[in-house]
Structure 1
Amino acid sequence: MIKKITIVAGISLVLLATACKTKDLKMNAAQKEGISNKKEVVYQVFTRLFGNKNTNNKPWGTLEENGVGKFNDFTGSALQEIKGLGATYIWYTGVPHHALIRDYTAIGISNDDPDVVKGRAGSPYAVKDYYNVNPDLAVNPANRLQEFEALITRTHKAGLKVIIDIVPNHIARKYEGKNNPKGVNDFGANDDVTVEYKRDNNFYYIPNKHFEVPDTDRPLNGEKNPIIDGKFEEYPAKWTGNGSRLAKPDRNDWYETVKVNYGIRPDGSKDFPELPAGFDAKSYKEHFDFWKGKDVPDSWKKFRDIALYWTEKGVDGFRYDMAEMVPYEFWSYMNSAVKVKNPDAFLLAEVYNPNEYRNYIRLGKMDYLYDKVEIYDKLKDVIRGKSLPDGLSDIQNGMADIEHHMLHFLDNHDEQRLASPEFAGSPEKGKPLMVVSTTISTSPTMIYFGQEVGEAGNENGGFGTHSRTSIFDYVGVPNHQRWMNGGKFDGGQSTQSEKDLRDFYKRLLNFSLKSSALMGKYKEIQSVNRHETQGYDSGIYAFTRWSDTQKLIVVTNFSWLTSSNFELKIPSEIIQKWNLKDGNYTLTDQLYDKSSIQLQVLNGEGKAHITIAPSESFIYQL
């Protein structure tokens, strides 16, 4: 039984030592997998919010009232600042054209019905046209695709790579592919709508039933709109995006979307070729060869072609929404095709079922999955006083074979902001979580724009509520706007605490990019210190990381009430692996260059006196 503990502000301490090379050190996991031996850092931006300078933040405000960011707001200066923070990729969230409440009929875009759109600015995961981009994001909406292509070029020029969303599980209720390449039929154009299921139908149907709008709150907060009438014409009704088979879905269903059919029969059985035994060990090239000439469902071809279209335009990778709702055989088919075109493509999937992780990595050929229900949820429980940090070791050891593929994050568009009262409670209390999240594995690190300046998501956008920065409304992001400083991107309006926090992120992320140890081995030292070290409080967690040229000891204090003092023990097993002889080693802080401490090795065991104060982080090097 775990007692409830009060874990308050944090401090993280990274002790770094360099030792002689040892011949018995094995190649690290990343090298074994043929993966680049360096950390990657993904900077997620909600594209329409990033450049918005308007601070009005009226609930349910229009674009004119609350403003919107544009592709052009990502200037060379902005991109260089993001790169300087430590990012290697930018995930431009919300780029594909999705349903929204704004009149663009002058450029040939039909109006969307507020009865089946969430918010005014609309959900980025109700895509309306996969072959074009959100018109809100362009200075000249008629040239929106060209403006995005220019952004891809600017991003590459800044030394960064581009990720965008693809949402294969569902599309907007009113999908209109008005920009389809020649020969591409629209979704559902050739469907047999008289039956619930047919393998090459793009949708599932509810024959002889009209779609009914769910009982929801008033669209647009009750604002008068000629289209709002509580109805949406769809006959026959289609299954809803989250799988609801009701003609009138529930208000909590993804009623603004329809489910895409990938050849999974209504009883759950598969209606397509399956991968032979042993294909979990095959390369993407072998997967690609397997699918050559195979008869696959029509939806597979449509989404493969969408991914290849954006790959040809220079997009370097994709974040796949709710990937586990689509069979991994399809992912094998599509991802292998993407990798053949771009072997370095960054393929990230939203998967929440740990029992399926290895299937989506090894059979679905995903590069990375969200590490949400393991590391993220554990860290959130720890900082909220619901759990001890000791279980982090079990999580890391349990995923040792796939840890490189489990992308770490503490903030994204779906989750409560790290600095919100519902999560860490303050940006400073989030610091130890960030250090552990960044340094515990070889996986990429992701941060969400505004996280680095302590954005807490306090705004009520209208459809979206506080603690999460709304993805449905036209809103401003206050902490980020102060750093943006009217487009100068220099922190000119930031508070001192916001500047200090961004400096912390910059130091930590750039350190992670350069550290060979963070792409090396992991070994917890939590157990021995928890049982044997006096003063080793319940909120402290420690582990080691090393390569053949760099040795790290990471010590984190999740408590935010008191400082702690103790003699950290480094077991003989680690000392031997590091080939350290008896003696004293001076460890000098590299993160803030504030102090030095002594690592004493005696009789083959190490000790270092640690003083951990609230919300501090150190990196010490021999």
Structure 2
Amino acid sequence: MALDTNLSLRQSVIYQVYNRNHNHTGTFRELIYDLKRIKELGVDIVYLLPIHPIGKKDKKGSLGCPYSIQDYREVNPEYGTLEDFKDLIKATHEHGMKLMIDVVYNHTSRDSVLLKTHPEWFYKNDEGEFANRIGDWSDVTDLDYTKDVALWDELIDILKYWAALGVDGYRCDVASFIPIKFWIKARSEVAKINPDFIWLAESVDGGFIKGVRSLGYEVCSDSELYQAFDICYDYDVYCYFKDYLLGKSSLAEYVKRVQLQEYIYPGNYVKLRCLENHDQARIASLVQSKEQLNMWTAFNYLQKGATMIYAGQEASCQHQPSLFDVDKVDWSHYNEAGMADLMKQLAIIKKDPVMSEGYYEIELGTVGDTVYLSYESSVKQRLAIFNFSLKAGDLFMDVADGTYKNLLTQQDVIVKNKTVTLSNEPIIFDINK
């Protein structure tokens, strides 16, 4: 783990925005007007999908994929000008939030500036053609970090450029495919501009790592990435979570995988906890009821790590927007969904230092499909119970009998004979020492 990682990142809420589909115009200017609402959700960091011009050669859909980047040093005119982006940075800071942008350094578009000026920096297949090594990414071609150290210098210079403009962090696309030594050097160089810069790695799941290595390519595990990154995705456990929702696996299997994180990663690890993102189905499309949606949302906030919500999640959107076309977020159910109010409450709960400093445990409950979490510090113990099956019962918990207050509902939580009666709502309470 990067030694200077700030553990308060475990208390943070990240808000993911795909600018094209976020609002009516899809511009930086219009996003500025939404910052007040976003801040009121309890958000600390606004994270934008790639902001750069999109390649036209072999593009996907009508407008192309934002991860097929033509020029790392420019902004997509679809979103506005560089001055508009600078104003967005300033406005984000004025609202007390930080701004993170996507970095896509595994590949560029097939008509990128770098491919035209430095073709020697790119991977070629056995036929001598520009290509990508992994996946059906027909609109991009891969960079080759083994060819020329000048590539490293150029890419790091670009990172320093955006940091100097006021960007506060990078979410690094498929960071696992890029040499860890590059990321370590990049972190060191950017720290000269902003020592508090935030590094988020899109790490990949274990099956993907094995598959890539079987093809003879290098790919970093989460444990390796933590040498340079503050936060890694939780894709090492996400597939078990989704399989449970789809009835393909047990809750016990998912919990076991989350428990493993406590001793396979460094002691100061931070995981990104998200129920959905631009690559995954909307959580509202995967659960059966509003009660289950509330339960999983609360669980996501109370887990150890940074919470990320994807714009539209607070409106209980079920449709996953296309990356390649105009496909606007449906905000029409925002007020009736009630998720925004829940998220505001959960964000307040998450800001308590016990969420970053407390000794954390996650356990499978003794009744139905239940999970309980605990955080313990020198001043308090925080406990949270999640009844995913919504079945009645009494859950055994090894805590002192007494009457406590549910931090979400303000209702009494009664522990009697070391048991708590389950509810269709999340149960979160503190025991002060």
* One-letter amino acid of the structure 1 residue matched with residue 17 of structure 2: V
Kindly provide the amino acid, as one letter, of the partner of residue 311 in structure 1.
Answer: A
| Alpha carbons of structure 1 residues 44 and 351: separation in structure 2 relative to 1, 3 Å | same
Within-5 A mapping of 1:368-383: 368-374=231-237, 376-383=238-245
Report deviation, 1:36. 3.3
Larger Rg: 1
1:96 corresponds to: 52
Query: Distance in 2 between the 1:75 and 1:338 partners?
Result: 26
Alpha-carbon distance, 1:253 to partner: 2.1
Task: Report the Cα distance in structure 2 between the residues aligned to 1:524 and 1:477, rounded to whole angstroms.
Answer: 34
Aligned to 1:367: 230
Match of 1:550 in 2: 380
- 1:257 maps to 2:148: no
1:189 aligned partner, one-letter code: T
Contact 2:16 2:48 in 1 (8 A): yes
Distance (whole Å) between structure 2 residues aligned to residue 396 and residue 546 of structure 1? 18
> Is 1:85 paired with 2:41?
yes
- How far did 1:33 drift? 6.2
Say which of 569, 585, 589 aligns to 2:397: 569
Deviation at 1:161, TM superposition (A): 0.3
Q: What's the TM-score, normalizing by structure 2? A: 0.88
Give the CA deviation at 1:298.
2.0
Equivalent residue for 2:418?
607
Any unmatched runs of 5+ in structure 1? 1-28, 53-67, 100-111, 139-143, 177-185, 192-200, 210-235, 245-251, 265-295, 458-467, 484-493, 531-535, 601-605
Question: Is the CA contact 1:45–1:91 (under 8 Å) kept in the aligned structure 2?
Answer: yes
Q: Tell me, in whole angstroms, the C-alpha distance in 2 between the residues paired with 1:482 and 1:189.
A: 48
Identity of aligned residues (%): 27
How far apart are 1:439 and its partner, in Å? 1.5
AA matched with 1:588: K
2:226 and 2:269 in contact (8 A); partners too: no
One-letter amino acid of the structure 1 residue matched with residue 26 of structure 2: G
Question: Contact (CA 8 Å) 1:409, 1:447: kept in 2 or not?
Answer: yes
CA contact (8 A) 2:10 2:355 kept: no
Match of 1:586 among 383, 396, 403: 403
The residue correspondences of 1:478-517 to structure 2 (distance < 5 A) are 478=330, 480-481=331-332, 483=334, 494=335, 496=336, 498=337, 500-517=338-355
What does 1:30-109 correspond to in 2, within 5 Å?
Answer: 35-36=7-8, 39-52=11-24, 68-76=25-33, 78-99=34-55
CA distance in 2, matches of 1:309, 1:170: 19
Ranges in structure 2 where 5+ consecutive residues have no aligned partner: 210-220
Determine the structure 2 residue equivalent to 1:137: 79
Residue 347 (structure 1) aligns with: 199
Report the aligned-residue RMSD.
2.6
How far apart are 1:341 and its partner, in Å?
2.0
Matches within 5 A, 1:327-476: 327-354=179-206, 356-362=221-227, 365-374=228-237, 376-400=238-262, 401-402=265-266, 404-420=269-285, 423-425=286-288, 428-441=291-304, 443-457=305-319, 468-476=320-328
Query: Structure 1 residues 453, 426: closer, same or farther in 2, change over 3 A?
Result: farther
In 2, the alpha carbon distance for the partners of 1:567 and 1:360 equals 38
- Taking the aligned partners of 2:189 and 2:359, their CA distance within structure 1 comes to 32
What is the SS of the residue equivalent to 1:165? strand
Q: Deviations over 1:331-362 (max 9, x none)?
A: 11212211232111111111114571111112
Q: Is the 8 A contact 2:122 2:142 kept in 1?
A: yes
Match of 2:216 in 1: none
In the alignment, the residues of structure 2 paired with residue 447 and residue 50 of structure 1 have an alpha-carbon distance, to the nearest angstrom, of: 13
Deviation per CA, 1:380-403, whole angstroms, max 9, x where unpaired? 222222222223443233221447
Aligned length: 415
2:106 counterpart residue number: 169
CA contact (8 A) 1:379 1:433 kept: no
Distance 1:35 1:515 in 2: 10
* Whole-Å separation in 1 of the counterparts to 2:181 and 2:3: 27
- The CA deviation string for residues 144-175 of structure 1, in whole angstroms up to 9 with x for no partner, is 11111111111110111000011101001011
Once the two structures are TM-superposed, the CA of residue 523 in structure 1 deviates from its matched residue by: 2.5
Q: CA deviation at 1:413?
A: 0.5
Residue number among 89, 102, 117 corresponding to 1:189 in the alignment: 117
Alignment counterpart, residue 598 of structure 1, candidates 408, 414, 417: 414
Q: In 2, are the aligned partners of 1:239 and 1:259 still within 8 Å (CA)?
A: yes
Q: Distance in 1 between matches of 2:298 and 2:173?
A: 27
| Distance 1:392-1:32 versus aligned 2 partners, 3 A rule | farther
User: Does the 8 A contact of 1:349 with 1:368 survive in 2?
Assistant: yes
Matches within 5 A, 1:255-294: 255-263=138-146
1:126 corresponds to 2:126: no
- Looking at structure 1, the residues matched to 136 and 250 of structure 2 have their Cα atoms a distance apart, in angstroms, of 35
**Please, which of 190, 205, 221 is the counterpart of residue 124 of structure 2?**
205
Q: In structure 2, do the counterparts of structure 1 residues 564 and 519 end up closer, same or farther at CA, with 3 Å as the change threshold?
A: farther
Instruction: Tell me which of the two structures has the higher relative contact order, counting C-alpha pairs closer than 8 angstroms and 6 or more residues apart.
Output: 1
For residue 84 of structure 2, what is the aligned residue in structure 1? Answer: 147
Q: Is the alpha carbon distance of 1:618 and 1:338 closer, same or farther for their aligned partners in structure 2, counting shifts above 3 Å?
A: same
Aligned 8 A contact 2:110 2:139 in 1:
yes
Structure 2: which amino acid aligns with 1:597? V
1:517 positional shift: 4.1
Which 10-residue stretch deviates more, 397-406 or 161-170?
397-406
